[in-house]
Structure 1
Amino acid sequence: MPEAVDIVRGEERYGEFCASCHGANLEGQPDWRSPGPDGILPAPPHDETGHTWHHADGVLFDYAKLGGKAALGRQGLEFESGMPGFGDQLSDAEIWNIIAYIKSTWPERQRDIQAARSAASLQQEGN
């Protein structure tokens, strides 16, 4: 994640691009752990009750920019995802701002765990 992010702008962009699926309060869609009739999982919450904080920054960025299917495909996983990519609509900086906003809402424990996972992921990429 870049050092300079704009959490206020991230919150605005979240409202414009993410809230319709992930909820105005980051609460996600009902029954987000159970696939719908189409076999696709509903949008998960981005608050501390979801699994967003389980993922390193790079994974979150790729998911938002490329979409779920393409991001997971990069990791060698085949998965039908309802998450579209926003790389054509949002700049990289805007995506990072949204991620920073989401992270700013988590309790300290979740922020610390996610930061450690992000640092470990960066270290792995460097090797």
Structure 2
Amino acid sequence: MIKNFRFTLFALLCAAIVAAAVSFWLLPSRAETVGILLPDNSEFVSIGKRVYRESCASCHGVNLEGQVADWRSPGADGMMPAPPHDETGHTWHHPDQVLFNITKLGVVKAANLKNYESAMPAYEDVLSDKEIIAVLSYIKSTWSEETRARHDAMNKSYKAKE
């Protein structure tokens, strides 16, 4: 009787382990990143939040709210104000690689705009690639699941076109 109980217990334990492994393998995970950003990586998000506050918040706002309410119209200097990076802005309308390039190279160089002036500096000599990815990961981590899912779908589409 004890042998049967041990065998049954062992068989149930093995079945539970196999079921858990299969479930883990089949269920989609937010850890499966799409693009280069890591919004679910707490280390990157923490670094990104610090770097954002040090290097970006003075223009884009401490709470990602942007420079001015009407960020879609040029300022008195003729340049576009810094847009918000929260969901009211357009950051999530661009794939990861485009956001990375704009941050690293600046808008003018990244978009190859010859006759365009922008107050957005290039950060290639200021921040490392890891810091840029961390900042963008922090920004994305603040978006709703719905917005993040739409952004992930855009990244998939962008990657498919490469």
Task: Tell me the TM-score normalized by structure 1.
Answer: 0.90
Query: Following superposition of structure 1 onto structure 2, how do residues 18-37 of structure 1 map, counting pairs within 5 Å?
Result: 18-30=56-68, 31-37=70-76
CA distance in 2, matches of 1:79, 1:107: 32
- Output one character per residue of 1:7-28: Cα deviation in whole Å (capped at 9) or x when no partner: 1001000001100000000000
Runs of 5+ consecutive residues of structure 1 not aligned to the other structure? none
Task: Say which one has the larger Rg.
Answer: 2
Q: Distance in 1 between matches of 2:159 and 2:114?
A: 20
2:89 is the alignment partner of 1:50: yes
1:66 alignment partner, one of 101, 105, 129: 105
Letter aligned with residue 95 of structure 2: A
Q: 1:42 to 1:93 in 2, by over 3 A?
A: same
Aligned residues: 123
Identity of matched residues, %: 52
How big is each residue's C-alpha offset from its partner over 1:2-53, in whole Å with a ceiling of 9 and x where there is no partner?
A: 6666110010000011000000000001121110122211000000000000
Give the secondary-structure state (helix, strand or coil) at the position aligned to 1:61: helix
**C-alpha distance in 1 between matches for 2:132 and 2:115:** 24
Q: 1:14 is matched with which residue?
A: 52
Partners of 2:114 and 2:88 lie apart in 1 by: 24
Distance 2:137 2:156 in 1: 15
The CA distance in 2 between the partners of 1:33 and 1:106, in whole Å, is 20
The 1-side partners of 2:123 and 2:136 are apart by 13
Q: Return the letter of the residue paired with 2:74.
A: P
Aligned to 2:159: 122
Moved more, 45-54 or 107-116: 107-116
RMSD, aligned α-carbons: 1.7
State the 1:67 CA deviation.
Answer: 0.5
> Please, which runs of 5 or more residues in structure 2 have no aligned partner?
1-35
- Matching residue of 1:101: 138
**CA spacing shift, 1:117–1:17, aligned 2, 3 Å:** same
Give the equivalent residue in structure 2 for 1:113.
150
Cα offset for 1:77? 7.2
